[in-house]
Amino acid sequence: MAEAQDLLSKQLRERETIFRLLVSGVRDYAIFMLTPEGYVMSWNEGAERIKGYRADEIIGKHFSEFYTEADRKAKHPDRELEIARRDGRYEEEGVRVRKDGTTFWANVLITAIYDEDHTLIGFAKVTRDLTERRRMEQQREADAFLLSQTNEKLKQALEIKSRFLSTISHEVRTPMTGVIGLTELLSMKDLGSENNAAVKAIFESSKRLLNLLNNILETAKLESGKVVLEHRNFPVRSVIGDTRQLIARESAKKGLRTTGTCDDNIPEVVCGDELRVRQVLLNLAYNAVKFTNVGSIDLSAELKHENDREVVVRFSVIDTGIGIPKDLQEQIFQPFQQATPATARVQGGSGLGLSICRELVDLMKGDIGVISLPGQGSTFWFEVPFVRELCES
């Protein structure tokens, strides 16, 4: 019996030794014991590394040494022990003080320790230095605040720019419309070949300038988020037919053949923003006329796919024009971009039309693209989903 008790005592001592060595060897956490009154009873390697005290310097001293003067005056250390005694544990994050007076951000856990008779024998205190984590969190918060401020300033700058562009465009459009009207009247008169040529040049230049102003105004509205979609019932077939008629005059001047087809599987009437669909299709169609000298312009609408809720229609403008190199096909949908500088010189234009088309198609939750080869023409297409259920009147 005595031998068994001796063996058990030996095993307990060995376990205590292993546990003590384990705790004392931990470097990432300060782990130590406090008396019920808060005096330091033990000290491990992690405590020395984090707090700066050697064991012989701190054992026997009150743990309030680790707190700021303000916390000590407010009796914060005593309150921590009171809560740990009452609830069994106390945990917080806050500022703690090292031996050299520097501070660090710590996670602190205090656990009440009781003996077999449920008598409080002290507190186990575990402290972890979270200064680096805290610094990174504060840096992220500062970066987020700075980003928010920058975005707000950018938003305000865009709003100011949009208002400026809208005001200028409106102010210039009015007299420009008058100039176009007057030059058109003059072009109907016989002013002599030289004067008629000059009037025609004024008329064409004025139309280009008005188109540029309209594009700038539309871009400003899109950037400021002021373009609102209007859903109404409309027949897709009439969109194709009307667009074909609108480009017929310009196409005839160049001897181009125009056709228009509409898939019979498309519902007779769909619900969507007819104005924006027409705007995108007409822009693509006029571009096709501009860049095609021989051949034809074909407009089409086909049912791409459908389900119980919506139908997706693909509109296409197919021309036999100059075509676009593959490596330039993505950039032409960016603002102020054209296929090549030579294109801008010969054909004119601001490079805003296709970017406006992309913005409008994105607004309608659709997609837009081009299939083209140099010298073999282009197919510009866009797909738009329409609600199957008709709009309310």
Other CB atoms within a 10 A radius of the CB of residue 105 amount to: 18
Query: pLDDT band at 159, cuts 50/70/90?
Result: confident
Pick the range with the lowest mean pLDDT from 47-56, 227-236, 241-250, 287-296. Answer: 227-236
CATH of 131-227, one of 2.30.30, 1.10.287, 2.60.40, 2.40.50: 1.10.287
- With a CB cutoff of 8 Å and minimum separation 6, the contacts of 186 are 199
Q: What is the pLDDT of residue 173?
A: 63
Render pLDDT for 16-43 as a digit per residue (tens, 0 to 9). Answer: 444 444 444 466 899 999 999 999 999 9
Q: What is the architecture of the domain spanning 230-393?
A: 2-Layer Sandwich (3.30)
Range among 94-103, 203-212, 264-273 rated most confident: 94-103
Q: Which of 340, 324, 332 is nearest to 292 (CA)?
A: 324
Calpha distance 196→199 (Å, rounded):
5
* pLDDT at residue 335 tops 80: no
Render pLDDT for 263-304 as a digit per residue (tens, 0 to 9). Answer: 999 888 888 888 889 989 988 998 899 889 999 999 999 998
Domains in the chain: boundaries: 2-129, 131-227, 230-393
Q: What is the pLDDT of residue 190?
A: 79
Calpha distance 197→203 (Å, rounded):
10
* pLDDT at residue 145 tops 70: yes
**CATH class of segment(s) 2-129:** alpha beta
Calpha distance 148→254 (Å, rounded):
53
